[in-house]
Amino acid sequence: MRSRRGLVAAALLAAPVAWVTRAAWGLPVALGASRRALRPHVAGSPHFSEGRFRNTLSTPSLPGSEDRRSLLRQMREDRSKGVPARPVPLVRTPPPAEAAELAVTWFGHSSALLEVDGRRVLVDPVWGQRVSPSPLVGPVRLHPAPTPLDVLPPVDAILISHDHYDHLDLPTVRELLHRQSAPFVVPLGIGAHLRRWGVPDDRVVELDWDGEVQVAGLTLTCTEARHFSGRFLTRDTTLWSSWVVAGPRHRVFFGGDTGYTPAFAAIGARLGPFDLTLLPVGAYNDAWKYIHMTPEEAVRAHGDLGGGVLVPVHWATFNLGFHGWAEPVQRLCAAAAESDVRVAVPRPGERVDVLAPAATADWWTAVGSQADDDGADGDGAGVATSAVARAGTWLAGRRATR
């Protein structure tokens, strides 16, 4: 009898041990380069001091006491708001064989394929199922990737804005390493992550803010953003950025992930105006208001940059905030109408001809939010490991400083 009990106990213990083992599988590699490996590549930057990169403006990234109480309430009441109630409509048309004068295909979140003066640039490509170092824990996709990576045509450059998992994805990097031959053009320090993952030196270009490189007739300029970096507890050891893609005839601004900053006006004055801006509109919250823009701030930034057509990014694909799933683009469209800003809101996988954009039809309202259908206490797919985990990370990170 005692032997049988021992076998039962061992069996009961085996399942959680196996789950933890699988959840942690590959963790050290996914975390990226160590601080020691990063240091030689970043120490010379004027934006790097006392062991970390810093924003130009004072940028508190920790919530105050009121915000912490609000986050606790949101974790209880708003956890399913960011989950779509119905399937997100996808467009699965392959990109054209020839790149256009000016077009953009949005794949979801911040991943997009730019066509500028007959060249192609892939920005913040994330095709993974989870934006996390773990295969079992972390924010999960709310819709499939609309276009397989093996369908993408050859690109001329791959731009990365910063090293957070929803912008720098190890499985995607590994696949692009073999499917594409383009260089990875990245902010300082991210090259160390890429080299650890097998990307050769001759395919890595690292730039500081205001640095630029010529690739296939395009000028790619690393520009300022207001954010932070880090793939685990160590923060700000790599640089974060926005990007300017300038061809002989057209210019595009890609915001990556950023809070509002007066630097946009300076970028617009120096490198603009821009025919197209891709600006983040989702995952905003009062608790992290300095490092994520609201939709209204995105419209303001678009004006600062001298933007023509605005395409919203950083929404729809992962539940990273406590707002409604469609709320970012609803607020964006309202603010854009008040400011007479032209907005194009493609479905994931949809291509926009920026020189002749079709009228934007509201496809997002019909998708809705799970919270509207099930009530605020619903348990949406991916919620427990996305918005809630994000808030928990912030609450647990009070000892860190920015």
- Per-residue pLDDT tens digits for 165-190: 999 999 999 999 999 999 999 999 99
146 close to 266: Cβ distance less than 8 angstroms: no
How many Cβ atoms sit within 10 Å of the Cβ of residue 358?
A: 10
In sign, the C-alpha dihedral spanning 64, 66, 69, 71 is negative
User: What six digits make up the tokens of 206?
Assistant: 């690292």
- The per-residue pLDDT for 234 is 83
Distances from the Cα of 157 to the Cα of 83, 130, 141, 243, 245, angstroms = 32, 24, 25, 12, 10
pLDDT in tens, 252-289: 999 999 999 999 999 999 999 999 999 999 999 988 89
Distances from the Cα of 15 to the Cα of 22, 134, 198, angstroms = 11, 17, 33
Residue 372's domain is classified under what CATH number?
3.60.15.10
- Model confidence at 81: pLDDT above 90: no
Phi and psi at residue 62, to the nearest 5°: -110, 135
4 vs 257, higher pLDDT: 257
107 close to 152: Cβ distance less than 8 angstroms: no
pLDDT in tens, 45-71: 999 999 999 999 998 766 566 666 666
Determine which helix (DSSP H) or strand (DSSP E) holds 176, and give its type and residue range. helix 170-179
Residue 273 maps to a domain: yes
For residues 130 and 134, what is the distance between their CA atoms, to the nearest angstrom? Answer: 8
Side-chain half-sphere exposure of 186, counting CA atoms within 13 A? 29
Residue 30 maps to a domain: no
* Three-class secondary structure of residue 19 per DSSP: helix
Residue 100 maps to a domain: yes
- The per-residue pLDDT for 4 is 63
Q: In the 8-state DSSP scheme, what is residue 203?
A: G
| Entry pTM | 0.88
Residue 48 maps to a domain: no
Residue 90 maps to a domain: yes
pLDDT in tens, 84-121: 999 999 999 999 999 999 999 999 999 999 999 999 99
Q: Which amino acid is residue 277, in one-letter code?
A: T
- The per-residue pLDDT for 384 is 40
Angle of helix 65-77 relative to helix 387-396, nearest 10 degrees? 150
- Residue closest to 106 by CA, chosen among 69, 147, 67: 147
User: What six digits make up the tokens of 152?
Assistant: 């993408």
- The per-residue pLDDT for 10 is 54
- The per-residue pLDDT for 77 is 63
Residue 5 maps to a domain: no
Residue 3 maps to a domain: no
Phi and psi at residue 93, to the nearest 5°: -70, 125
DSSP string for residues in 322-349: SS-SSHHHHHHHHHHHHHT-EE--PPTT
Owning domain of residue 309: 77-396
Residue 208 maps to a domain: yes
pLDDT bin (cut points 50, 70, 90) of residue 2 is low
Helix residue ranges per DSSP H, 65-169 = 65-77
- The per-residue pLDDT for 27 is 64
For strands 342-343 and 307-313, give the pairing: parallel
Give the count of domains, the chain. Answer: 1
Beta bridge partners of 20: none
